[in-house]
């Protein structure tokens, strides 16, 4: 359990703080990840190269979201009744096969739920990571729709365009929410 404690605390780190740390780890001068990549002949240039910047953003965002997924998978695993796992132990010798045929299907609802949550996270909560990593120079860098709404509305003073994009965003949220609620209904049936 103490190890689990260490696995989940990263959840509490704010996206821009994670972004700041990402900047350091992907820094041209001091970043260890840049040095590591150079070893394999990959010249990472965060802020200059579109793909490299996206890569750094994804690494940071994924890192920050691991604890959340971990907690839900853990509680999903704990939600599988011991007796079902024991029944499987009597029915199937191979642990791998048991995982594949019993545990994984029973985790599917959790995975589906997390898929939606993670999409929502990528849409909205990555704002801080992106804002810190592109440092106001969105020019050639990858940005999200939320970031564009912010840039157009508050930096570019294009209120119309910004609002239109907000509406699109709202429709996406609507679809995701419907998905999520249908999922909750399904999970109720599951037990």
Footprint (CB under 8 A) of another protein, residues 42-61: none
- Kindly state the smallest distance separating residue 118's Cβ from another protein, in Å: 11
For residue 136, state whether it binds another protein (rule: CB under 8 A): yes
Q: What SS3 class is residue 13? A: coil
Footprint (CB under 8 A) of another protein, residues 114-133: 117, 123-124, 127-128, 131-132
- Kindly state the smallest distance separating residue 54's Cβ from another protein, in Å: 19
Render 71-95 in DSSP notation, one character per residue: HHHHHHHHTS-HHHHHHHHHH---H
Neighbouring residues of 85: CB distance < 8 A, sequence distance ≥ 6: 102, 103
- 163, 182, 185, 186: residue in contact with another protein (rule CB under 8 A): 163
For residue 150, state whether it binds another protein (rule: CB under 8 A): yes
Torsion of CA 53, 55, 57, 58, to 10 degrees: 160
Which of these ranges, 38-46, 50-58, 91-99, lies near another protein under the rule CB under 8 A?
91-99
For residue 12, state whether it binds another protein (rule: CB under 8 A): yes
- 77, 89, 111, 115: residue in contact with another protein (rule CB under 8 A): 89
- 36, 38, 43, 81: residue in contact with another protein (rule CB under 8 A): 81
Q: Tell me how far apart the alpha carbons of residues 23 and 185 are, in angstroms, rounded to a whole number.
A: 41
| Binding-site size, another protein (CB under 8 A) | 78
The CA R_g of the chain, rounded to the nearest whole Å, is 21
For residue 151, state whether it binds another protein (rule: CB under 8 A): no
For residue 9, state whether it binds another protein (rule: CB under 8 A): yes
**Residues 114, 117, 122, 127, CA torsion sign:** negative
Q: Over the range 119-134, which residues count as b (16 or more CB within 10 Å of their CB) and which as e?
A: eebebebbbbbbbbbb
- 115, 182, 184, 185: residue in contact with another protein (rule CB under 8 A): 184
- Kindly state the smallest distance separating residue 61's Cβ from another protein, in Å: 13
């Amino acid at each position: 359990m103490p190890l689990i404690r260490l696995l989940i605390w990263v959840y509490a780190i704010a996206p821009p703080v994670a972004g700041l740390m990402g900047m350091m780890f992907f820094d041209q001068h001091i970043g260890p990840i840049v040095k590591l990549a150079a070893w394999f002949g990959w010249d990472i240039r965060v802020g200059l190269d579109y793909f490299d910047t996206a890569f750094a953003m994804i690494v940071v965002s994924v890192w920050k979201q691991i604890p959340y997924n971990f907690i839900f998978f853990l509680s999903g695993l704990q939600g599988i009744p011991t007796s079902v796992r024991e029944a499987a132990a009597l029915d199937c010798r191979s642990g791998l096969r048991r995982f594949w045929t019993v545990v994984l299907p029973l985790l599917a609802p959790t995975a589906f739920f997390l898929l939606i949550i993670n999409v929502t996270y990528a849409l909205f909560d990555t704002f801080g990571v992106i804002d810190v990593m592109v440092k106001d120079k969105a020019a050639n860098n990858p940005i999200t729709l939320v970031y564009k709404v912010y840039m157009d509305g508050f930096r570019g003073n294009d209120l119309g365009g910004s609002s239109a994009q907000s509406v699109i965003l709202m429709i996406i949220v609507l679809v995701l929410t419907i998905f999520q609620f249908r999922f909750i209904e399904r999970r109720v049936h599951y037990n």
